[in-house]
A and B are shown apart, each in its own frame.
Chain A
């Protein structure tokens, strides 16, 4: 396969979705763990640890969706209409999350805060689960018709492999979120969150190992490329080492390194997924010939070229101010007058 515009855009969409997974991953994870914090102060600290950044993190999903629309319109059209009810649920999850973060601390009543705490946590878990289930379906394959349309049913999307990837995603985000929260907190809350990390890592590793086994056994097309090009096993190795490094860094009290390790593990996981999928964007199961690939689902070469110019101008800017924002809000979270 040569490095043409279609491959470049496959990588770019992958980068946007990886950016989304790493960034929104930790704030979805913080949300998923939210109800384990008990006092109002702890909960406010948890929410404010993601306060300035969660909104920007979600933009990676919106822009990833936009890039998919522009570069691979058939994928955007097939997936979003085919996964209709699941996607509507995801949208409600994201709306409730946004609203819960924004509204929770605006009123002092206990029932008010408890209600939004529950919405925040449930919607975070549901959003992460649905994203994972969608990914699982794309990997497993969905029934596609010759006109690229989805030919399955909503219940058909809830098969065991897709659910397994869904749970793995929740576990991954919980692990990632607990590390982030450790990094951002101090004192008693820091120690408390730190004690969760062992559990979140174990939860993740169980899911991760199960998914890997299931993929090797039942989803051969996802591993074919690694059989043909054994050198690519390096990515799997890197992923393993990054995961293994997390408890080590936590043990030595190097929270930031643990967080970087977790980010690296997620990037490597997305790379494994991306390599496994190539050249397909949506695998057609049972009839692989009908799969949506980076060629039959793409926009014209002209548009891919124009979009590349837009990306080359825009992405460095985006990275520059994302980095600046994270730099400004570095360090431990504190409650202030303008906090959530």
Chain B
């Protein structure tokens, strides 16, 4: 089999698996800060039981995230060593910074979060929770910096010729704040908040439906719903802004998002859904709103938008895959918004906790942000193809020279087996923890040192 394809499949598979967990810890981490903060403020045993339960769940998610994350840190060297030589000067710094600024903070204070209940004061424990939450976000910052540099490289120059050529930093802050960093970071963090809050909402809705831990579930739900409503509205703004950055800096990717072929279209339509025929270069069975794409990007329904025919066929990403994943992400985003707003309405009318269909919807809705995360990354990364660094280095040029296709196949099979096992164990233990539920705080067990 083709070594390049295998290495790409392996990277996609390992990163997709890994990416189940960090958004959950980022989102849940923020909610833990709120829950424990409320406990410190009100001293109510309910918030204490709540924090302790979600901390236990957090620990499980974090462990699988770490186990699968080490693979990512090393995979640039193992399978993409030519890429690593080319970009190490720029890209390596971001990964090293992630280790120094984020991982130590996260893993260090996580120890206190999980095991330090009786060893430090409540304030110190809360401080540790804040540090873990910050650490998880810092980690996102540096990874998004590194990845955004692949999308919209800046602050570097190329030194050397041919096989010895490589990118070297000229301006560190331009590398960090390259044109897409801020928008993509905001988009990813909001998505993580949605992932965490939908998870808490799903578990809480399940408890309410089963009439277990009712007070706990209602209180958890209220906290998470505030975050879910805020984040789903904010994501609308962030998604729009992100797409504008893509239009400006990666027009081929935007054209693939929208299945837009003509070299330039004045009054470009927004295709709501359809199927892209890449041979005939058009969208079939599609429904489109004329002029809307131009309006969304340029604020003017007559403004020109660049299409795929402006790029040589070898410089275009796989169009239908990008189109479908992007459209599915947007559709799921809308469903997330709709569910959040509907729940806000029922909450306002005081019927949130009694409306069974809505609670059932929440139980299942836990998968929505995960799907949107995966599809969003798929459209972002496949949309970057055929480049590993946009306009600079092709994915086919980044591969390790000394790793055979057979070796990659071996590792891919092993990763598949191990990750499937990990996932089954994760779900099994998560299910076990959820069914076990929180330890209800009795009157004498209300104190911090219970």
Find out whether the CB atom of B119 lies under 8 angstroms from the CB atom of A99.
no
Partner of A88, one of B66, B120, B411: B411
Q: With A and B bound together, what is the CA distance between A81 and B85 in angstroms?
A: 11
B180 interfacial by beta-carbon distance below 8 Å: no
Known interface pairs A63-B104, A307-B93; A69-B76 also in contact (CB < 8 Å): yes
Q: With A and B bound together, what is the CA distance between A80 and B110 in angstroms?
A: 29
How many A-B residue pairs have C-beta atoms within 8 angstroms? Tell me.
Answer: 223
Partner of A149, one of B63, B119, B401: B401
Find out whether the CB atom of A99 lies under 8 angstroms from the CB atom of B67.
yes
Find out whether the CB atom of A95 lies under 8 angstroms from the CB atom of B70.
yes
Residues of chain B contacted by A107 (CB below 8 angstroms): 432
Stretch at the interface among B167-175, B204-212, B238-246, B322-330: B167-175
B287 interfacial by beta-carbon distance below 8 Å: no
Q: Which of B64, B79, B116, B400 has the most CB of A within 10 A?
A: B400
A76 interfacial by beta-carbon distance below 8 Å: yes
Q: Which residue of B lies closest to A74 (CB)?
A: B85
Stretch at the interface among A51-59, A208-216, A279-287: A51-59
Q: With A and B bound together, what is the CA distance between A100 and B169 in angstroms?
A: 41
- Give chain A interface residues in 20-77, CB to chain B under 8 Å: 51-53, 55-56, 58-59, 61-63, 65-67, 69-71, 73-74, 76-77
Q: With A and B bound together, what is the CA distance between A148 and B86 in angstroms?
A: 13
Q: With A and B bound together, what is the CA distance between A94 and B71 in angstroms?
A: 10
- Give chain A interface residues in 106-141, CB to chain B under 8 Å: 106-107
Q: How far is the CB of B241 from chain A (nearest CB, A)?
A: 29
B96 interfacial by beta-carbon distance below 8 Å: yes
Stretch at the interface among A195-203, A229-237, A246-254, A309-317: A309-317
Partner of B66, one of A78, A98, A106, A302: A98
Q: With A and B bound together, what is the CA distance between A70 and B90 in angstroms?
A: 7
Partner of A58, one of B70, B74, B112: B70
Find out whether the CB atom of B95 lies under 8 angstroms from the CB atom of A69.
yes
Find out whether the CB atom of B111 lies under 8 angstroms from the CB atom of A70.
no
B286 interfacial by beta-carbon distance below 8 Å: no
Find out whether the CB atom of B99 lies under 8 angstroms from the CB atom of A55.
no
Find out whether the CB atom of B402 lies under 8 angstroms from the CB atom of A321.
no
Partner of A303, one of B79, B120, B168: B168
Known interface pairs A55-B111, A67-B99, A95-B422; A80-B81 also in contact (CB < 8 Å): yes
Residues of chain B contacted by A62 (CB below 8 angstroms): 69-70, 73, 99, 103
Find out whether the CB atom of A338 lies under 8 angstroms from the CB atom of B60.
no
Find out whether the CB atom of A310 lies under 8 angstroms from the CB atom of B403.
no
A150 interfacial by beta-carbon distance below 8 Å: yes
Main secondary structure of the interface of B (DSSP, over half): helix
Known interface pairs A70-B95, A321-B109; A310-B77 also in contact (CB < 8 Å): no
Residues of chain B contacted by A166 (CB below 8 angstroms): none
Partner of A63, one of B96, B112, B403, B432: B96
Find out whether the CB atom of B92 lies under 8 angstroms from the CB atom of A98.
no
Find out whether the CB atom of B70 lies under 8 angstroms from the CB atom of A91.
yes
A79 interfacial by beta-carbon distance below 8 Å: yes
Known interface pairs A59-B104, A70-B95, A318-B100; A300-B168 also in contact (CB < 8 Å): yes
- The number of chain B residues with a CB under 8 A from chain A is 71
B105 interfacial by beta-carbon distance below 8 Å: yes
Q: Which residue of B lies closest to A90 (CB)?
A: B74
A191 interfacial by beta-carbon distance below 8 Å: no
Partner of B169, one of A148, A151, A303, A317: A303
Q: Which residue of B lies closest to A319 (CB)?
A: B104
Find out whether the CB atom of B115 lies under 8 angstroms from the CB atom of A302.
no
Stretch at the interface among A169-177, A220-228, A258-266, A322-330: A322-330
Q: Which residue of B lies closest to A331 (CB)?
A: B119
Q: With A and B bound together, what is the CA distance between A52 and B59 in angstroms?
A: 11
Scoring B residues 126 to 169 as 1 if CB is less than 8 Å from chain A, else 0, what string do you get?
00000000000000000000000000000000010001001011
Q: Which residue of A lies closest to B69 (CB)?
A: A62
Q: With A and B bound together, what is the CA distance between A51 and B85 in angstroms?
A: 37
A85 interfacial by beta-carbon distance below 8 Å: yes
Q: With A and B bound together, what is the CA distance between A127 and B76 in angstroms?
A: 20
Find out whether the CB atom of B119 lies under 8 angstroms from the CB atom of A328.
yes
Q: How far is the CB of A322 from chain B (nearest CB, A)?
A: 6
B114 interfacial by beta-carbon distance below 8 Å: yes
Residues of chain A contacted by B347 (CB below 8 angstroms): none
B332 interfacial by beta-carbon distance below 8 Å: no
Residues of chain B contacted by A76 (CB below 8 angstroms): 76-77, 81, 84, 88, 92
Q: How far is the CB of A249 from chain B (nearest CB, A)?
A: 27
Find out whether the CB atom of A87 lies under 8 angstroms from the CB atom of B78.
yes
B98 interfacial by beta-carbon distance below 8 Å: yes
Known interface pairs A76-B84, A147-B163; A302-B168 also in contact (CB < 8 Å): yes
Find out whether the CB atom of B422 lies under 8 angstroms from the CB atom of A80.
no
A84 interfacial by beta-carbon distance below 8 Å: yes
Find out whether the CB atom of A55 lies under 8 angstroms from the CB atom of B66.
yes
Find out whether the CB atom of B96 lies under 8 angstroms from the CB atom of A307.
yes
B418 interfacial by beta-carbon distance below 8 Å: yes
Q: With A and B bound together, what is the CA distance between A318 and B138 in angstroms?
A: 14
Find out whether the CB atom of A69 lies under 8 angstroms from the CB atom of B414.
no
Q: How far is the CB of A339 from chain B (nearest CB, A)?
A: 7
CB within 8 Å of B: which residues of A?
A: 51-53, 55-56, 58-59, 61-63, 65-67, 69-71, 73-74, 76-82, 84-85, 87-88, 91-92, 94-96, 98-99, 101-103, 106-107, 147-151, 299-300, 302-303, 306-307, 310-311, 314-315, 317-318, 321-322, 324-325, 328-329, 336, 338-339
Interface pairs A-B: 4 shortest CB-CB: A73-B88, A80-B77, A63-B99, A70-B92
CB-defined A-B contacts under 8 Å, sample of 30: A52-B111, A53-B111, A55-B107, A55-B110, A56-B110, A62-B69, A63-B99, A69-B77, A69-B91, A71-B96, A74-B85, A76-B77, A76-B84, A87-B74, A87-B78, A91-B70, A92-B418, A94-B67, A95-B418, A95-B422, A99-B64, A107-B432, A300-B89, A302-B169, A311-B100, A314-B101, A324-B108, A325-B108, A328-B120, A338-B117
